[in-house]
């Protein structure tokens, strides 16, 4: 387990950029499937009871912890979610894993192939059905993956397809009562601002043991810097906006990153009003990076 002291992280973080689907490592796939979304998002296990009713469990749920313990996995071990995930996906385990408690049958939320497909899609060319983006992996001095982010820069025309693809759903515009599908909202966002390019936030996650010490803000800004650089390389005079989605209830992310970098909510999702679609202009983002440059801790 890597040290999480500010002294080493502030000076020795390593960034690795991936642009090729073939470069997605098993290490990143396993972290995506068993670590990044296993706590707050509860995407470690799915369960089905005797009535066929589904449920979902994460590392903070007693049912997931109980399943690990019943399989001989020490839940005081920080790596227990990955060990449980590996046991449940292993087609030839040393022994048959216990997958049922009180009539409820469990399986992993993310299969290896599903996680792999998701990550590869981020860096697959748009012409081949992907997002044409990049992935940045953040590593600690001992080579552990502390976090990652995915993003892309596309033309306004390409964004008409990619925005609904990544952020699809039905939303209320801020201050409005009528609901609208993101697909129908997208042309308005693009045409009203006269933009030529769009930077899309595709994904971002920090491993639980590295949360709360500035890692998220660091990689958030590295993503922004890379989006601005990609935009300039495509068109020096391009009019860029940035689009992302987050939860207002995740204060560190929403207040500390989105709001701090001038990404403001334009709509919120009907299924979860705390989930917001945010937009910012290149001018606002560039100004925020200049006025308040990121500082570690």
Do residues 213 and 260 both lie within one domain?
yes
Do residues 89 and 173 both lie within one domain?
no
Tell me if 30 is assigned to some domain.
Answer: no
Tell me, rounded to whole angstroms, the distance of Cα 205 from its chain centroid.
5
Task: Give the pLDDT of residue 88.
Answer: 94
Number of alpha helices (DSSP H) and beta strands (DSSP E) in the chain = 10, 13
Tell me if 44 is assigned to some domain.
Answer: yes
Strand pairing class (197-206; 240-247)? parallel
**Of the residues 109, 125, 152, the one at which a domain ends:** 109
Task: Give the pLDDT of residue 292.
Answer: 66
* Cα gap 15→23, rounded to integer Å: 15
> 10: pLDDT confidence band, cut at 50, 70 and 90?
low
Do residues 175 and 127 both lie within one domain?
yes
Given a cut of 70, whether residue 17 has pLDDT beyond it is yes
Tally of domains in the chain: 2
**Mean pLDDT across the chain, nearest whole number?**
90
**Beta carbons within 8 Å of 223's beta carbon, 6+ residues apart:** 136, 149, 151, 201, 204
Residues spanned by the domain of 103 = 38-109
* Cα gap 163→277, rounded to integer Å: 10
Do residues 139 and 236 both lie within one domain?
yes
**Of the residues 109, 138, 160, the one at which a domain ends:** 109
Do residues 162 and 250 both lie within one domain?
yes
Given a cut of 80, whether residue 83 has pLDDT beyond it is yes
| Percentage of the chain modeled with pLDDT above 70 | 93
Do residues 180 and 74 both lie within one domain?
no
Tell me if 24 is assigned to some domain.
Answer: no
Tell me if 171 is assigned to some domain.
Answer: yes
**Of the residues 58, 80, 109, the one at which a domain ends:** 109
Determine contact, residues 156/195, Cβ cutoff 8 Å.
yes
Given a cut of 80, whether residue 237 has pLDDT beyond it is no
Across residues 248-261, what is the average pLDDT?
91
Do residues 165 and 67 both lie within one domain?
no
| Percentage of the chain modeled with pLDDT above 90 | 71
Tell me, rounded to whole angstroms, the distance of Cα 278 from its chain centroid.
15
* Cα gap 69→79, rounded to integer Å: 13
* Cα gap 69→273, rounded to integer Å: 36
> 91: pLDDT confidence band, cut at 50, 70 and 90?
low
Tokens standing for 278? 């945010």
Task: Give the pLDDT of residue 7.
Answer: 47
- Cα angle for residues 290, 292, 295 (degrees, 5° grid): 115
């Amino acid at each position: 387990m890597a040290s999480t002291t500010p002294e080493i992280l502030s000076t020795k973080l390593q960034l690795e950029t991936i642009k090729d689907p073939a470069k997605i490592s098993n290490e990143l796939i396993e972290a995506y499937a068993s670590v990044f979304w296993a706590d707050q998002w509860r995407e470690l296990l799915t369960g089905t009871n005797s009535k066929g009713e589904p449920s979902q469990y994460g590392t903070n749920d007693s049912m997931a912890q109980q399943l690990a313990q019943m399989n001989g996995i020490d839940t005081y071990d920080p790596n227990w979610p990955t060990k449980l995930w590996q046991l449940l996906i292993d087609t030839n385990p040393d022994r048959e894993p216990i997958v049922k408690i009180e009539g409820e049958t469990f399986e992993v939320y993310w299969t290896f192939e599903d996680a792999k497909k998701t990550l590869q899609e981020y860096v697959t060319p748009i012409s081949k059905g992907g997002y044409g983006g990049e992935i940045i992996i953040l590593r600690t001095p001992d080579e552990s993956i502390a976090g990652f982010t995915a993003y892309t820069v596309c033309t306004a025309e390409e964004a008409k397809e990619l925005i609904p693809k990544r952020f699809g759903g039905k939303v209320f515009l801020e201050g409005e009562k009528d609901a609208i599908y993101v697909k129908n909202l997208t042309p308005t966002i693009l045409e009203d601002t006269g933009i030529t390019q769009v930077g899309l936030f595709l994904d971002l996650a920090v491993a639980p043991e590295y949360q709360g010490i500035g890692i998220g803000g660091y990689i958030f800004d590295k993503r922004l810097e890379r989006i601005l650089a990609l935009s300039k390389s495509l068109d020096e005079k391009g009019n860029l906006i940035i689009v992302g989605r987050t939860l207002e209830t995740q204060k560190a992310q929403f207040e500390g990153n989105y709001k701090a970098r001038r990404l403001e909510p334009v709509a919120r999702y009907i299924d979860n009003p705390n989930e917001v679609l945010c937009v910012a202009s290149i001018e606002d983002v560039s100004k925020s990076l200049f006025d308040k440059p990121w500082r570690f801790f």
